[in-house]
Amino acid sequence: MAKLTVKVDSEVASLAKQYAKLRDVSVSKLVEAYLSKVAAPSSTPMLDSIRGVLKTGDIRDYRKYLESKYG
């Protein structure tokens, strides 16, 4: 595994740590997951056009929404 140093605003770093802690994952894993998604080639122009639109989306929130809507 390669080491990567990234400089970000201190407020962004603090928020990233809080986000990661709430989800029981490391900031490194969050960054790795994000970079793997945005760097991966997509199969359609439609996917390219919407990549990165949902900056704060969380799959768990979406699943809760679906459960409440469809039971």
Q: With CA atoms as reference, report the closest residue to 8 among 41, 40, 24, 30.
A: 30
**Does residue 62 surpass a pLDDT of 80?**
no
In a domain, 1, yes or no: no
In a domain, 48, yes or no: yes
pLDDT score for 58: 76
In a domain, 21, yes or no: yes
Q: Quote the number of domains for the chain.
A: 1
User: Structure pTM?
Assistant: 0.54
In a domain, 5, yes or no: no
Q: What is the pLDDT of residues 24-36, one digit of tens each?
A: 999 999 999 888 8
In a domain, 2, yes or no: no
In a domain, 3, yes or no: no
Dihedral sign for Cα atoms in the order 7, 57, 33, 20:
positive
pLDDT score for 34: 85
Domain that holds residue 16: 10-70
In a domain, 4, yes or no: no
